[in-house]
């Protein structure tokens, strides 16, 4: 108890700095995965991608990041086990942050495609198991999280498959695909706007202080969808099409229309990523702050301090601003066959899945979901060649991340505890 | 540096190199027309030049082929089964080999074409070239087929192109029979060895047309999968 009252501000400051650095790392590195498909299919330039990412990552983190943050803060560990020694929970959360940060830095350096989400969950489980034993973990909730890591890529894959097939039927299989694209693509844009707006309004505006009736919220969402639809319509009208028509079909021009659509889905993707991944950085911080502020009371129902979500959001944006250009810039050369019509299907599916998961508070991996979505398009015979050995490598690195995060967190936890209790 | 896991998923597409390979095949095949013109004019210097051009194209095609094999050798998920791509490539490879065999026979045996059949012979050669060009346009549709997931309207369009290819093949077969009977009539005036070579080149030319049709057939199999 004395530790918290004596060192409280120091602990908060330390956690805030580490959390901020973690958010910064998420912005600098992880965002490239979310924006990869857009830049890779040349629908966006690097600069555009960075700007979109900055705006929508911030919006996603601030408006829709609350639920997942709550899960990481208090959903994984049963706080009752720490009532008598709340300082251990504080140390543990800081250790998890350090562990995840170190593991991510190492992975980035070695080029392993690891997941931020998996490393932070691994970290939390690691210190909880070693400090308070097996029962301190809310296994029901954690089981749900583990299941979601398998289920969400599968769902994203199925959605991507369906979206891609619908685009094939509505546009590519038409006598005049260009006309069909002009007609139907704005609807996809409206759909993307609708999903985003609904989740934001339902889950996000509450903690900003704007609670809305479900009916009003739905109406506003529909209005936003219509506005997005209209903007899309105008943007498509302004595209310069190539005059020469190649063969019977006009797929080059059709892809130009899909490139406009991809701007919208890239916004969704950035928003979705922000809403889910900000929690990895600030969830543990939020836990530390609430324990210290209540002087050692582990108050499961305490609200999130107002400054925490913006701190994470700013961290992500700063990371992007400083390194995003360079990291996203490494994308783009090797791509041979990722056209906007495919990228859009994968992105829209992944973004919807992630945003919905964020709404329910499940910390899932954005990258993993996107991998599932790309596989879905591949199954629909939409992609020239998918590298199966890379996919195996990605899955393997995910499985390694959990125990790695746990072990590192245990090490940090032991160090910090001995520093403060000596 | 960090490898982006999403982008690392995308392997190199075999389609572009296959098109590139087919382009070399068709280019070599087209050179048969000036080659036979040179042979009719007994201009063996020119024939040798053309032969070496064909030979270079064959080598280009071979190196592209190795390239495609590399893209197919990895553990990749393709929109159609890997064997279809391999078989298409092998048919294309046989085409350019056949072109080179014809060029070798004509150039180094200094094969003269009898005046009586020159007109029909030239038109037969150009028909064989045209059918290869058509096969090339079918191969070039692979991009569009990928865009449409190898089905629907685009697939029907390609199927029609392939049916046209079959019809053209039947026509070249008729032409070949006509030419054979013409050669038969002037056999007495030719040296026996010349006559044998003439028949041989004729059958190789019709083999070339057949290979072009088989390229189309391989793509048809992709569509029916």
Mean pLDDT of A116-143: 86
At residue A355, φ and ψ (nearest 5 deg) are: -65, -40
* Integer Cα distance of A209 and A217 in angstroms: 14
* Integer Cα distance of A37 and A25 in angstroms: 20
Q: Which of B1, B7, B74 to mutate to test the interface with A (most CBs of A within 10 A)?
A: B7
pLDDT of residue A300: 62
Mean pLDDT of A398-407: 89
Q: Is B147 in CB contact (< 8 Å) with chain A?
A: yes
Higher-pLDDT residue of A38 and B30 is B30
Q: Is B73 in CB contact (< 8 Å) with chain A?
A: no
Q: pLDDT band for A377, please (50, 70, 90 cuts).
A: very high
pLDDT of residue B2: 45
Residues 6 or more apart whose Cβ sits within 8 Å of residue B178 = B120
Of B3, B7, B147, the CB nearest to A40: B7
Could you give all domains of chain B from N- to C-terminal order, each with its CATH number? 13-224 (1.20.58.220)
Asked if residue A300 lies in contact with residue A6, where contact means CB atoms within 8 angstroms, the answer is no
The three-point CA angle A32-A36-A42 to 5° equals 135
What is the number of domains present in chain A? 1
pLDDT of residue A331: 59
pLDDT of residue B94: 96
pLDDT of residue B65: 92
Percent of chain B with pLDDT over 70: 98
pLDDT of residue A211: 63
Asked if residue B79 lies in contact with residue B32, where contact means CB atoms within 8 angstroms, the answer is no
Which of 103-142 (B) contact A at CB < 8 A? Answer: 141
pLDDT of residue A305: 78
Inter-chain CB proximity A168 and B149 less than 8 Å: yes
Which residues of B are less than 8 Å from A111 in CB distance? 1-3
pLDDT tops 90 at residue A146: no
Asked if residue A87 lies in contact with residue A93, where contact means CB atoms within 8 angstroms, the answer is no
Q: Which residue of A has its CA nearest to B77?
A: A386
In whole numbers, what is the pLDDT of chain A averaged over residues? 83
pLDDT tops 80 at residue A325: no
Q: Which of A46, A381, A388, A396 to mutate to test the interface with B (most CBs of B within 10 A)?
A: A381
The boundaries of the domain holding residue A197 are 2-240+247-421
Q: How many other C-beta atoms lie within 10 A of the C-beta of residue B176?
A: 18
Distances, alpha carbon A110 to alpha carbons A103, A172, B1, in Å: 11, 41, 7
pLDDT of residue A207: 59
Percent of chain A with pLDDT over 70: 90
pLDDT tops 90 at residue A162: yes
Mean pLDDT of A88-97: 88
Q: pLDDT band for A420, please (50, 70, 90 cuts).
A: confident
pLDDT tops 60 at residue B190: yes
Q: pLDDT band for A365, please (50, 70, 90 cuts).
A: confident
Higher-pLDDT residue of A197 and A331 is A197
Give the containing element (helix H, strand E) for B76.
Answer: strand B76-77
Mean pLDDT of A80-96: 83
Asked if residue A222 lies in contact with residue A214, where contact means CB atoms within 8 angstroms, the answer is no
């Amino acid at each position: 108890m004395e530790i918290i009252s004596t060192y409280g501000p120091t602990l908060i400051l330390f956690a805030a700095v580490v959390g901020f650095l973690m958010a910064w790392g998420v912005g600098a590195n992880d965002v490239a995965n979310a924006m990869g498909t857009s830049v890779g299919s040349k629908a966006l330039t690097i600069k555009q991608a960075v700007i979109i990412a900055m705006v929508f990552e911030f919006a996603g983190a601030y408006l829709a990041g609350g639920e997942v943050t709550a899960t990481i803060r208090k959903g994984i560990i049963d706080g009752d086990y720490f009532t008598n020694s709340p300082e251990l929970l504080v140390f543990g959360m800081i250790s998890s942050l350090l562990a995840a940060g170190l593991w991510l830095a190492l992975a980035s350096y070695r080029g392993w495609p690891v997941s931020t989400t998996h490393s932070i969950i691994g970290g939390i489980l690691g210190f909880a198991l070693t400090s308070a034993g097996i029962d301190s973990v809310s296994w029901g909730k954690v089981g749900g999280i583990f299941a979601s890591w398998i289920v969400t890529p599968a769902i994203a894959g199925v959605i991507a498959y369906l979206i891609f097939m619908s685009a094939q039927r509505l546009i590519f299989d038409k006598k005049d695909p260009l006309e069909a694209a002009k007609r139907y693509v704005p609807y996809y844009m409206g759909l993307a706007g609708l999903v985003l707006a609904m989740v934001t309004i339902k889950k996000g505006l509450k903690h900003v202080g704007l609670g809305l009736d479900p009916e009003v919220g739905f109406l506003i969402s529909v209005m936003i969808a219509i506005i997005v639809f209209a903007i899309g319509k105008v943007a498509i009208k302004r595209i310069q099409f190539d005059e020469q028509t190649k063969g019977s079909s006009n797929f080059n021009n059709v892809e130009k229309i899909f490139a406009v659509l991809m701007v919208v889905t890239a916004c969704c993707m950035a928003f979705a990523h922000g809403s889910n991944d900000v929690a990895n950085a600030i969830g543990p911080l939020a836990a530390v702050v609430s324990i210290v502020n209540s002087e050692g009371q582990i108050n499961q129902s305490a609200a999130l301090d107002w400054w925490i979500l913006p701190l994470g959001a700013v961290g992500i944006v700063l990371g992007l601003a400083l390194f995003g250009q360079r990291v996203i810039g490494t994308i783009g050369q090797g791509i041979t066959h990722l056209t906007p019509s495919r990228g859009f299907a994968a992105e829209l599916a992944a973004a919807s899945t992630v945003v919905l998961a964020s709404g329910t508070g499940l910390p899932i991996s954005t990258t993993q979901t996107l991998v599932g979505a790309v596989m879905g398009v591949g199954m629909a015979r939409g992609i020239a060649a998918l590298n199966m050995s890379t996919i195996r490598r990605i899955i393997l690195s995910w499985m390694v991340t959990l125990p790695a995060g746990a072990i590192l967190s245990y090490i940090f936890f032991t160090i910090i505890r001995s520093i403060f209790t000596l | 540096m960090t490898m982006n896991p999403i982008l690392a998923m995308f392997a190199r597409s075999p389609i572009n190199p296959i098109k590139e390979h087919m382009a070399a095949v068709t280019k070599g095949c087209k050179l048969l027309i000036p080659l036979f013109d040179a042979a009719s004019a007994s201009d063996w210097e020119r024939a040798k030049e053309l032969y070496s051009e064909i030979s270079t194209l064959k080598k280009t095609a071979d190196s592209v082929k190795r390239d495609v094999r590399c893209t197919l050798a990895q553990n990749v998920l393709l929109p159609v089964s890997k064997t279809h791509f391999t078989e298409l490539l092998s048919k294309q490879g046989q085409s350019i080999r056949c072109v080179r065999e014809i060029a070798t026979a004509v150039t180094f045996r200094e094969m003269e074409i009898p005046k009586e059949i020159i007109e029909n012979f030239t038109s037969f050669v150009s028909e064989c070239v045209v059918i290869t060009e058509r096969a090339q346009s079918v191969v070039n549709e692979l991009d569009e087929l990928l865009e449409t997931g190898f089905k629907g309207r685009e697939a029907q369009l390609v199927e029609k192109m392939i049916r046209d290819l079959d019809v053209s093949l039947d026509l070249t077969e008729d032409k070949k029979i006509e030419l054979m009977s013409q050669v038969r009539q002037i056999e007495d005036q030719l040296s026996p060895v010349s006559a044998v070579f003439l028949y041989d080149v004729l059958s190789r030319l019709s083999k070339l047309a057949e290979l072009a049709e088989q390229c189309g057939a391989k793509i048809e199999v992709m569509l029916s999968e």
